[in-house]
Chains A and B, each alone.
Chain A
Amino acid sequence: MAAFQINDTVDITDVVCPTTFVKAKVALEELDEGQILSIHMNDGEPVQNVPRSIKEEGHKILKLIDNADGTYDLLVQKVGE
C-alpha cells in the first residue's frame, strides 16, 4: 500500500448529515488542487454516504481506512479549484 502525503485533516464526527458533507466540502475548498485531505468520520450513515457525495463533487477518493474504533478516515485528493 502506497503511503499518501496528507496535507490536512478534518473531523466530522461531531456533526450529523447533511452537515457532515458540508464540513468536509468546506475543508476541501481550503486545499489546492492535488492536495490530500483526511476526513475523520463515524461508522454508519457518514461512512455510507459521505464518500459518494465527495465522489459526486468530482474529487478523487484514494482510501477508506478502518480505525477499528467505530471511526474511519477517508483520504481524498482535491480535483478542480
Chain B
Amino acid sequence: MAVDYATLKKGGFMRQKQKNHFSLRLRVVGGNLTAEQLAKIAEVAAQFGDGHVHLTSRQSVEIPFVKLEDIDAVKAALAEGGVEPGVCGPRVRTVTACQGEAICPSGCIDTYALAKELDERYFARELPHKFKFGITGCQNNCLKSEENDLGIKGGIKVQWKKENCIACGVCVKACRSGAITLQDGEITLDESKCNFCGRCCKSCPTEAWDETHGYIVSFGGLFGNSICKGEPIIPFIADHEKLMQLCDAAVQFFADNAKAGERFRFCLERVGFDKFREKMEEVYHGSISDQ
C-alpha cells in the first residue's frame, strides 16, 4: 500500500523515526481542553499508543506510537470525545493563547474567545508556508506574541478621570515606564511612554481611569531556524472588527506574495516591509472612514 505522507501530515499524523508509527497531533485551541477531551485522549493513548502523550511547544497534545493501520479507528475514537486531529505543513497552525482576562488578573483581553474566533476563521487554511497566531493577554507576554507570524497582545489605553482620583500616588509607582506623574493633586500621563500595560488602572483604588481595552499586533515573528521578533505597525487597535480586517489582510498578503516554502517574515523582507505597512495602514484607516 502506497502511503500518502503529505495527506497524513495534513491531518496531524507526524511520521516517527520508528517505521509505521505516527505521533498524532491534536487540535487544541488556546491551550484549553475539557475534562471529557482529556479522558478520551488518555484512553486513546493507552489503547492505540504506548500509554503516554507529549505536550508540544505550542499548546497542542500529541499521541505518539499510533500505528498506520489504526489511523481510522483512532480518529473515530477521538471523535467520540470531541477531539480532532490537528495540522502540520503549510497552513494556519494551532492558535495559541494564555488564559487572558477571563482568568488571569493581569489580562487585558479575552484571549480564549479571540483564539476560538481566529481558529474558526483560519484553522488549516492552506498557505505558502506555516502560519502561526499567538495571543497574549498583557505586557507580561507569557504567550510570547512576537515570536508568531501574527502576534496579538492585549493592552489598555487609559485616560485619567480627575473626579474619581484621590491622588493616592499608587499608579505613579505601579507604572513601570515612568509615564505617570502626580503634582498638586494633578495626574499627568505621558502618552509617548505608555505601553498600554494597564497596571495604573488595575491598581487604582478608586477607578480613576477610563479604560479602552484593545490589541497590539505584531507581524513576521519567527522562532525556529531563524529568530526574528515580530514588528508592530499600528500601536494600538481598539476596535475588534478592525483587528479582524487586519488579520484577514495579513493572511491574504502572505497568500498573494509569498513563494512556496517562504515564511511570512522572509516574504515581508523580500517584498518590502514598507509595502506591507502601507497595505495594513490602508486597511486600518480605510475601515475608520467607513464608520
A residues with CB within 8 A of B: 43, 47-49, 51-52, 55-56, 60-66, 72, 74
Tell me the complex Cα distance, A47–B168, Å: 12
B residues with CB within 8 A of A: 105, 166, 168-170, 173-174, 176, 199, 202-205
Tell me the complex Cα distance, A51–B173, Å: 10
Contact A48 B174 (CB under 8 A): yes
Contact A52 B169 (CB under 8 A): no
Number of A-B contacts (CB under 8 A): 39
Give, as a whole number of angstroms, the nearest-CB distance from A3 to chain B.
Answer: 14
Contact B105 A51 (CB under 8 A): no
Contact B105 A64 (CB under 8 A): no
Query: Which residue of chain A is the closest to B174 with respect to CB atoms?
Result: A48
Contacts of B169 in A (CB 8 A): 63-66
Query: Which residue of chain A is the closest to B172 with respect to CB atoms?
Result: A64
Tell me the complex Cα distance, A48–B202, Å: 11
Query: Which residue of chain A is the closest to B185 with respect to CB atoms?
Result: A1
Contact B199 A55 (CB under 8 A): no
Contact A52 B174 (CB under 8 A): yes
A-B pairs with the 8 shortest C-beta distances?
A61-B205, A52-B203, A64-B169, A51-B170, A47-B173, A63-B168, A64-B170, A51-B203
Contact B173 A48 (CB under 8 A): yes
Task: Beyond A49-B174, A52-B174, A55-B203, list 17 extra A-B contacts (CB 8 Å).
Answer: A47-B173, A48-B173, A48-B176, A48-B199, A51-B170, A51-B174, A51-B203, A51-B205, A55-B205, A61-B205, A62-B205, A63-B166, A63-B168, A64-B170, A65-B169, A66-B169, A72-B173
Contacts of A51 in B (CB 8 A): 170, 173-174, 203, 205
What are 13 inter-chain pairs, A to B, with CB distance below 8 A? A47-B173, A51-B203, A51-B205, A52-B174, A55-B204, A55-B205, A61-B168, A61-B170, A62-B205, A64-B170, A64-B173, A65-B169, A66-B169
Contact A52 B173 (CB under 8 A): no
Tell me the complex Cα distance, A43–B173, Å: 8
Contact B105 A56 (CB under 8 A): yes
Contacts of B174 in A (CB 8 A): 48-49, 51-52
Give, as a whole number of angstroms, the nearest-CB distance from B169 to chain A.
Answer: 4
Query: Which residue of chain B is the closest to A47 with respect to CB atoms?
Result: B173
Tell me the complex Cα distance, A63–B185, Å: 12
Give, as a whole number of angstroms, the nearest-CB distance from B209 to chain A.
Answer: 13
Tell me the complex Cα distance, A62–B167, Å: 9
Tell me the complex Cα distance, A47–B172, Å: 10
Tell me the complex Cα distance, A62–B204, Å: 11
Contacts of B166 in A (CB 8 A): 62-63
Tell me the complex Cα distance, A39–B170, Å: 13
Contact B176 A62 (CB under 8 A): no
Give, as a whole number of angstroms, the nearest-CB distance from A64 to chain B.
Answer: 4
Asked whether A52 and B202 contact (CB < 8 A) given A47-B173, A72-B173, the answer is yes
Tell me the complex Cα distance, A6–B68, Å: 73
Asked whether A52 and B168 contact (CB < 8 A) given A47-B173, A61-B205, A72-B173, the answer is no
Tell me the complex Cα distance, A62–B176, Å: 21
Query: Which residue of chain A is the closest to B203 with respect to CB atoms?
Result: A52
Contact B199 A60 (CB under 8 A): no
Give, as a whole number of angstroms, the nearest-CB distance from B166 to chain A.
Answer: 8
Tell me the complex Cα distance, A56–B105, Å: 9
Contacts of A64 in B (CB 8 A): 168-170, 173
Give, as a whole number of angstroms, the nearest-CB distance from B186 to chain A.
Answer: 15
